Chain A
Amino acid sequence: MSKLGRVVEAVEKYNRFVLDQVKRARTDEKFGRELITRWSEAKAKTPVTHTPTGLPLPRLALPEIDEPGEIARYLFGEGLPGEFPFLNGAYREMYLEPVRENELGSYGRNGDKNEVAAEMSPANRSKVPTRPPRQSRPPEEPTRLFSGLMLAEDTNERFHYLTQHQRTHRLSTAFDGPTLYGIDSDADGVFGKIGEGGVAIDTVEDMVRLYDGFDLGSPNFSASMTISGPAPIIMAMYIAAAKSRFGSKVVPKLRGTIQADIFKEVQAQNETIFPIEASLRFLTDMVEFTTRKLPRWYPISISGYHIGEAGSTPVQQAAYTLSNGFAYAEMFAGRGIPVDQFGPRLSFFLDCGLDAEYIALARVSRRIWAIGMRDAYGAGPRGQLFKLHTQTSGRSLIAAEFKNNLTRTAAELMLAYMNATNSCHSNSADEPFTTPSEEWIRLAAHGQAILLEESGIFKHTMNMLSGSPGMKAVERAVEAGILDEFREIERLGGVLAAVEDRFQRSQIQNAAHRYEQQIYDGTRPIIGLNRYRNGTDDIPEVKLARTPRAKQQLQVDRLKKFKKKNVEKAKHALDKLVDVVERGENCFPALLDAVEVSSLGQITGRLQEVVGRFRPMV
């Protein structure tokens, strides 16, 4: 049985354990009394807050139950927020306004734990922080915007602009196509793609320019890099750039996230450059290095977003993301990295759309992850946390009568926060037909502020909307669905075997096709498209900022100069790298040397000679 099979068993076993506790609470009087005492204490300790209209509300809402069996079902089956199995939330308090001194009971001050989660940011523009708003908070904080355009110095300028009024500098970096595919800017046929959709990075010199002026070792700085195929090479460039500016002392202080999710690339996003096993080996090399030398770095962001966007059902999205996560955990443990070292360095990224599953998808995922990590992998409390970034669904947005997209995104945001996501990105309404413009980005960000800050839905009380009968029904159905998917993957021989069998890929494609079919035949109503269509096309004409040819040429020229300067050194460093790869040792240190003198494309090319190229799956 693969580890995934053991996760299924662990969840089933835990569910039986919960039922046993319920029974025991009802029959064992002493146990029942203990539970009632615990329950009463939890309620008594909860501070009361007052809304602007003077309404008193507890900061944590709990179900009105006093029967020991039901209390057991809640405490063991769901857990209080911040307690195993974390159904209601990874942390005790989230989104709440800070406690005012006169309201502070024995409950204690709200920890700043949320910062741990808030610092991870995969693909996110216009993200609003989920930390409690501070009293002195300026009326508008754009926080961390996903950015990447043209050349490194252009993106750098944008980073400085975006963070100029911020205390903390949290950057989120998008790369251009050639970089995502590990190709140099001077490669054949990519000229028009240089600096499009993200920043062009070819060498360590570009990486220095990209974060110039930022204090990379500061606790107030973190960098997020949305790249997977060539992630280890880019990570090495980042470390090398930091060292060249601040010396090697800076390395253990570096904070940030790199996406590095190979499984989802093969399953959905198609930015894979080496064969799967080689990709996973390079990833593990990197994780082994960073968990030891950069303990504050998140070396992987396990992403379901792209799986969802490629067309999967919500259950498939959660099941594949979780099983990918468990497969990574198995690999890292297999390399000998202690689970309590890598466990807390894993983070997740999910899509949130409008289907009913999203009422509880992330809640259930958090629970399954916690049980699996604790009981199948032996992880301690920090390694059990499913730290989640959510993005609203881009696929749910359409061009026709696009202003409706504001409503779609608002509903999705609501669902995301009902699932207690640790951070969230809201899409711009104009996304279906253009790169988001300032106006719609602002509205998207404001949507989050309206929900979290203006409305009273999330800021007064934890669990405000948790635990409705409908939500419970969805939780049960979703959990059963996810476990069924796990069993199917297990039957195929585990995650890697299923991936190679293109199981997830074809499941996603089938679901995508079914979705399109449903829109076509009207069984999936899309307002303004197949229902209540008014026929007017109100898409505004947009002008997009494109990378000027002169800049693209500059990038090519700089790269050529770098290559010329380093001809001999590059040859030596790449030979050494290849040697280490052939010997099967951890190649990350050799990669760190190689990036000093060779370009991304040179490294990719040499590695492909040794391990081969990725063979696409159709």
Chain B
Amino acid sequence: MAAPIRILTAVPICDGHDSAINTINLEFIRHGIEVIYLGYHRSVGDIVRAAIQEDVRAIGISSYNGGHIEFFAEVVDLLRKRGASDIKVFGGGGGTITHEDAIAMRRKGVEQIFFAGTSLTEMTDYVRDNYGKARKKRSLSKSREIELARELTEIEGTYGKGKRPARKRKIANPQPPIRNSKVIGFTGPGGAGKTTLIDELVLRILLRQPTARIAILSHDPSVVGEGALLGDRATMINSQNDRVFMRSMATRGQAGGLSPATHDCLALLAQSNFDYVIIETVGTGQEAMPFQKNGIVDLTVLVMNPDYGSQLQLQKIVMLDLADVVVVNKSDLQRARTAHSEIEQRLEQNRRGQRLIDTVAKRHRDPGVDRLFDLISADRTR
């Protein structure tokens, strides 16, 4: 079974028309394609960086606000400049892109333009026919980022559907660890605000540690039929930065909030000269501690939503005993005070020195997130 096709989709800068791309994304994943969705109003730089880091086969751009000839061409040019011309560009824009425009765009290296009236089936077939075959051997890239992205693809590829590879992978050419990465794992139920919280932490690292580099390994569930919508990048506005290497992974059939290949990918990232490696699970249930067995994670953060239900429910959350830091996010909600004291009581019983922090991650410059940042970066800001 070949690995699913990975493509990136996005809407250009100054364009919020995401209705078409939302529908197309759903159709793609229904047909087994993994879609990394970057969202609307995205710059050329953001799109190309994401495509390279995610090592996608192609970029699909949905443009409805004009300026498409320039925009598509800039994407193709920047890919070429970065040495990533093997990533192809296609797209559409309903009636806003004329046939004449499309000819000009093809001349500038765009592979395909879909016009108004193209069916979803035609688009899906196009992607499968053109980007579904195994890639030819790629020559070694000079770019460390590209090489890292490709190695991650290779690791993911060696894990079939839920199977482990026959022998343990050796990491090729690990970078000499000038400084150790700090590996932080984030887990917690869906809707607790993990993604927003991580993005806000990234913003603080970028602002306060001018040379720090960050890797993020983010997970989203695969749906039946193998596809997945990997949409964390769309909301992580601060993490679209040259000092951040972000990779989105689909769980590809594995339960527990991580992918079969996560462990190896994480091991690789931890040796790749980042100051911080952040890993985020899918929104998980109550029992598992996804990082337990890995042994790579230095610090585990459990992000809770104050609306977890009764205290009885709380007793069932095993992760509360295992996490190093518990964050009650959305602490502006009415129930947050109750949640804080209930959780505090539980942590005190554990006597493990676990920390409890209240945050409102969606709030700009939230002091709770500042505290979490201080805690995480305590040994980094010497």
Chain A interface residues (CB < 8 Å from chain B): 176-178, 180-181, 183, 188-194, 196-197, 265, 269-271, 275, 278, 309-311, 398-400, 431-435, 500, 509, 512-513, 516, 520, 539, 541-544, 546, 610-613, 615-618
Contact = CB atoms under 8 A, between A and B. Distances in A.
Given A196-B67, A618-B37, A271 B16 contact: yes
Contacts of B74: 189, 192
Contacts of A192: 66-71, 74
B36 to A, nearest CB: 12
15 contacts: A177-B13, A177-B65, A181-B13, A188-B43, A189-B74, A190-B13, A193-B67, A194-B67, A271-B16, A278-B364, A400-B117, A433-B115, A513-B22, A612-B364, A612-B365
B204 to A, nearest CB: 13
A138 to B, nearest CB: 32
A269 B65 CA distance: 12
B67 A512 contact: no
B237 A615 contact: yes
How extensive is the interface on chain B, given as a class? 35 or more
Contacts of B355: none
B39 interface: yes
Contacts of A398: 116-117
Contacts of B69: 192
B44 interface: yes
Contact of B39 (A400, A516, A544, A618): A618
Interface string B112-126: 000111001000000
A435 B199 CA distance: 39
Interface in B116-164: 116-117, 120
Contacts of B18: 270
B362 A615 contact: yes
B41 A270 contact: yes
Interface stretch (B94-102, B209-217, B318-326): B94-102
Nearest to B203: A612
B370 to A, nearest CB: 14
Nearest to B71: A192
Contact of A177 (B39, B66, B116, B199): B66
A610 B235 CA distance: 19
Interface of B: 12-19, 22-23, 26, 37, 39-41, 43-45, 65-71, 74, 94-96, 98-100, 115-117, 120, 196, 199, 231, 234-235, 237, 362, 364-365
Contacts of A193: 12-14, 65-67, 71
A180 B14 contact: yes
B190 to A, nearest CB: 13
Given A399-B95, A544-B98, A618-B234, 7 more contacts: A177-B13, A193-B66, A196-B67, A509-B22, A512-B19, A610-B364, A618-B231
Contacts of A539: 116
B99 A541 contact: yes
Contacts of B44: 189
Contacts of B364: 275, 278, 610-612
Contact of B26 (A180, A399, A513): A513
Given A615-B196, A618-B231, A542 B98 contact: yes
Given A192-B71, A434-B98, A616 B117 contact: no
A45 B296 CA distance: 87
B235 A617 contact: yes
A289 B134 CA distance: 62
Contacts of A500: 362
A509 B22 CA distance: 8
B192 to A, nearest CB: 13
Nearest to B39: A616
Given A399-B117, A612-B364, A618-B39, A191 B15 contact: no
B41 A181 contact: yes
Contacts of A275: 362, 364
A269 B16 contact: yes
Contacts of A513: 22-23, 26
A188 B45 contact: yes
Contacts of B99: 541
B116 A270 contact: no
A310 B19 contact: yes
A617 B99 CA distance: 33
Contacts of B95: 399, 431-434
B70 A191 contact: yes
A613 B240 CA distance: 13
A278 to B, nearest CB: 8
Nearest to A516: B23
Contacts of B13: 177, 181, 183, 189-190, 193
Contacts of B231: 618
A399 B116 contact: yes
Nearest to B66: A196
A613 B239 CA distance: 13
Nearest to B46: A189
Contacts of B235: 615-618
A189 B362 CA distance: 28
Contacts of A271: 16
Given A189-B45, A270-B41, A618-B234, A432 B66 contact: no
A512 B22 contact: yes
